[in-house]
Amino acid sequence: MYHDIPVFDVHGHVSVPFAANSLAVLMMGSNTPMPSPIGQPAAGPAQVTVADFRAAAEDHVRYLDERQIDVQLIGPRPFLTLGWMEPHLLPAWTTYVNDMIYQQCSFFPDRFLGACQLPQLSDAADLSGCIGELNRCVSEYGFAAAYVSPDPSGRRTTPGMHEPYWYPLYERCQELDIPIIVHGTNSLDPRYRVVPHNYQLGFVTEQYLAGQFLSHGDVFDRFAGLRVIICHCGGALDRFIPSDHHLAQKDLSANLFYDTCAYDLIFLEAAIRQRGADRMLFGTEAPGSGRAVRPETGRTSDDLVPVIGGLGFLSEQDKKKIFHENPVRVVPGFAGLGR
């Protein structure tokens, strides 16, 4: 809570026992798709039990409680979406991940909303092949958003987010009234190998490019009701003043949004100032990559409610928008939760 207002976090990822992910290794090793074991007494080759999954979810809830977060939208772990695996394996992996997301939501329905992974293929003609899984997750599981990667193959061969490749997905998400969450995934650029956990570099570049392509293209003219959230404050900030012709001179306030998932305080403050409070949605990725401890507070860097609550340039109304009102406006699934 923030001053008795429920805090809604739009950037979270499913928490499972790490052994649960061994199904991907087995499928890739055998080159054979396998059915999702969720719902069985012991799931997958590592024999992970329902109790094991519940314990991981309980740890996640405790982590949220310690950071004043009431409800979190959870999707796939981006570096484990594995969009570069063999195309005939990807749908089975995607189904399993979505089943795990739904299971966590069912354990704590008042604390989690689901956002689906999609079986994106970079070299497909378009994303119509993702619609079946999207429909399943929304109609059967009540998921409230869809995750997409700007470049699931990690090789920068995916069409830009302004191109017709994306239109079937945009059309269906608009019909379903759910937002798209843009999050980078893996990067297989060989130059990145010197950097540990180099998928983080892909997050920055691909999310920033997605924002540029969506801003300058005509996606929101074609799909006026589409809402898109770009993670990590958009990946990078603009270096031009607002009236510069290098920036799209459009009103995107009804369509393009950003989350607050950044841990360096200078960057986070600059992002909120540049994007504006009306387009920022509270997001932390807790628990995730924000576990480093701030020396000045002794708290992890993803403990962002007191950080944003203490920003003097934001009015109290701005803070309520970021923590609560904007998430509800952009992700209608939050409505009625957190009380």
Give the tens place of pLDDT for each residue, 132-187.
Answer: 999 999 999 999 999 999 999 999 999 999 999 999 999 999 999 999 999 999 99
Confidence of residue 41 (pLDDT cuts 50, 70, 90): confident
Stretch 114-121: mean pLDDT, rounded?
98
Stretch 236-260: mean pLDDT, rounded?
95
pLDDT in tens, 290-332: 999 999 999 999 999 999 999 999 999 999 999 999 999 999 9
Confidence of residue 45 (pLDDT cuts 50, 70, 90): confident
Stretch 58-80: mean pLDDT, rounded?
97
pLDDT over 90 at 40, yes or no: no
Instruction: Give residue 289's pLDDT.
Output: 94
Question: How deeply is 329 buried, as exposed, middle or buried, from its count of CB atoms within 10 A (0-12, 13-18, 19+)?
Answer: middle
Task: Report yes or no: 216 and 185 within 8 Å, Cβ to Cβ.
Answer: no
Instruction: Give residue 43's pLDDT.
Output: 72
The pTM of this model reads 0.96
pLDDT over 90 at 268, yes or no: yes
Instruction: Give residue 188's pLDDT.
Output: 92
Using CA atoms, how far apart are residues 70 and 55, in angstroms rounded to an integer?
19
Stretch 70-85: mean pLDDT, rounded?
96
Average pLDDT across the chain, whole number: 96
Instruction: Give residue 139's pLDDT.
Output: 98
Crossing angle of the two packed helices 131-141 and 167-176, in degrees rounded to 10: 20
Q: Which residue type does 162 have?
A: H
pLDDT over 90 at 209, yes or no: yes
Instruction: Give residue 90's pLDDT.
Output: 98
Instruction: Give residue 109's pLDDT.
Output: 97
Instruction: Give residue 44's pLDDT.
Output: 73
Q: Would you identify the CATH topology of the domain 8-334? A: TIM Barrel (3.20.20)
Stretch 58-79: mean pLDDT, rounded?
97
Stretch 76-83: mean pLDDT, rounded?
95
Percent of the chain beyond pLDDT 90?
94
Token representation of residue 198: 């180099």
CA angle in degrees (0–180, nearest 5) for 215-219-224: 105
Phi-psi region of 337 (alpha: psi -120 to 50; beta: other; left: phi over 0): beta
Using CA atoms, how far apart are residues 226 and 175, in angstroms rounded to an integer?
9
